[in-house]
Amino acid sequence: MAESLSPPTSPTPRQDRRLAPRDAFQWAFDAMAARQWRQAAGRWATLRVVYPDHPPVWIQAAVALRELGSHGEARQLLAEARTRFEDHPGGWVQGANTALADGDAALAARLLAEARERFPDDPPVWVRSAHLAQATGDHDAALSFNRHARDAFPDWAPAFDQHAELAMAAGDWDTARQRWAEVRRRFPDHPPGYRRAAALEEQQGHHREARRLRLAEEHGVDWLEESDAPGPAVVAPPRRRNGRNFVDLVWTKARLNLKSEANRNHLRYLWWVIDPLLYMAVFYVVFGLLLHRGGEGFVAYLLTGLVPFQWFAKTVQHASNTIVEGRGLMNQVRISPLFFPLVAVMQNAGKQTLVFLMLAVFLLLYGLAPTVHWLALVPVVLVQLLLMVVVGCALAMMIPFVRDLINLVPTGLQFLLFVSGVFYTVDTIPEQWRGLFMTNPVANLLHQYRLILLEHRWPDWSQMGWLTLGCVIGLVVVILAYRRLEGVFPRVVVE
């Protein structure tokens, strides 16, 4: 039957044998992911002609046929797979699944018994054995198989998922809660630990706890730890017009993101210093050593421009796609879309603190000791923060409507890098173009940083004032636009 199915109209691996098996298989897996089983079966049939010596073309074809209800043909393919690929457990595991779907529990049990003997180190074999035992009413055997899976493969999350599902199937809700909590403790980035626990609470009528678990799936397990803590650390999703709660929520989410990001790296917070160091070293080697640009004092000049620019670039790029990425949460709770880009701005500001401290230490070692003029860094940093809020939120607002803009953001930032005076001084720009150059807000800010840090002078307050006014006007426009579009975003981001 599989060979008789109509082939797709797109180019097939038969037409282009240069495709690597993995790329070709993705062609069929895409149809399966879309649950287009007839198309998937046809694609696997085509792939069997081209790659007959690869297990997926037999096993996954049987899965597609089983979903179409063609159990007999699925069994034939799996029998052939077991003959051809004796060292691949998929023929036995999927064979048992197909037999169970066809109502033949005895055959499923026999195939899984053979699989346990042949492949004792394959986790799905034991999980499917537990599933079959549960389906046939042998709860003790199901627990025994699952216990072996958990003991033998302690880093494999599906075994622990099944342990909790077994308690849910038995109606033991308290035990199921404890087991889902164990899943979250062991695998904090594993979605079922939150999603299925939320479904349990929803089924029991605990809607608030279900919502809290869904928020934790979006924000990480630290969200649950924060909300379980006593006292004022509990932060609920804000009401629409409660600005204080909204700011508190943004701050809490940014702080939890920073903690989660650090925990994913072996070097933890140290990586926030190493990353900009490597970035700056590349530019120094290229422009300072290879191209011999700058002369004496060039290193300090380069770093005082690169550090603020990198902060701007990383923040804008991070914030630009946050509303699209936050569509899951936006469609679960009522929250202003401004929340998402503001969290990105706050998160990057927290990381930048260490980078600025590192720059200060470098300048001190370089012979540029702090002066009273360094106090002016506070308003300059605040103006840059305001500029990043305006630009980041504006891009985040536009990208859900014009998704292709996200591809232009890196190019735009790269262009901005070369027109903002990071590698050259304002003196090198012809006099008639300097006014236009300073209308670039990023170039303006970098100029103010260098006046303070390198020339020990106060910033140009007039230029700072005009830049601040422009940022305030932009912020007002952005806030009004967000309020107008607040009800539109949840629909647009899922289209």
- Grade residue 470 by pLDDT with cuts at 50, 70 and 90: very high
Asked if the model's pLDDT at residue 372 lies above 90, the reply is yes
Do 345 and 412 have their domain in common? yes
Most confident of 15-29, 59-73, 173-187, 379-393: 379-393
Question: What is the domain extent for residue 270?
Answer: 261-492
**Average pLDDT along the chain:** 81
Do 159 and 299 have their domain in common? no
Domain-embedded: residue 222 = yes
pLDDT in the model for residue 332: 65
Q: What whole-number percentage of the chain has pLDDT above 90?
A: 15
Do 266 and 203 have their domain in common? no
Check residues 285 and 236 and name the one with the higher pLDDT: 285
Check residues 269 and 214 and name the one with the higher pLDDT: 214
Domain-embedded: residue 132 = no
Domain-embedded: residue 320 = yes
pLDDT in the model for residue 8: 39
Domain-embedded: residue 9 = no
Domain-embedded: residue 32 = no
Do 282 and 373 have their domain in common? yes
Do 170 and 288 have their domain in common? no
Say how many domains are in the chain.
Answer: 2
pLDDT in the model for residue 229: 47
Which range is least confidently modeled, 94-98, 252-256, 336-340?
252-256
Do 430 and 292 have their domain in common? yes
- Residue after which a domain boundary falls, among 178, 199, 234: 234
Q: What is the pLDDT of residues 261-303, one digit of tens each?
A: 666 666 666 777 777 777 777 766 776 667 666 566 777 888 8
Domain-embedded: residue 70 = no
Do 479 and 429 have their domain in common? yes
Which range is least confidently modeled, 24-28, 280-284, 486-490?
280-284
Do 319 and 407 have their domain in common? yes
Most confident of 214-223, 265-274, 365-374: 365-374
Average pLDDT over residues 135-153: 88
- Grade residue 230 by pLDDT with cuts at 50, 70 and 90: very low
Asked if the model's pLDDT at residue 90 lies above 60, the reply is yes
Asked if the model's pLDDT at residue 58 lies above 70, the reply is yes
d(CA 388, CA 384): 6
Do 328 and 440 have their domain in common? yes
Domain-embedded: residue 250 = no
Which range is least confidently modeled, 63-72, 244-253, 451-460, 480-489?
244-253
pLDDT in the model for residue 294: 59
Average pLDDT over residues 166-177: 88
pLDDT in the model for residue 316: 92
Domain-embedded: residue 476 = yes
Q: For residue 335, which of 486, 495, 493, 480 has the smallest C-alpha distance?
A: 486
For 84, other C-beta atoms within 10 Å of its C-beta total 14
Q: What whole-number percentage of the chain has pLDDT above 70?
A: 84
Give the CATH number, domain containing residue 182. 1.25.40.10
- Grade residue 220 by pLDDT with cuts at 50, 70 and 90: low
Do 171 and 269 have their domain in common? no
Do 182 and 297 have their domain in common? no
Do 265 and 395 have their domain in common? yes
- Grade residue 393 by pLDDT with cuts at 50, 70 and 90: very high
Asked if the model's pLDDT at residue 14 lies above 60, the reply is no
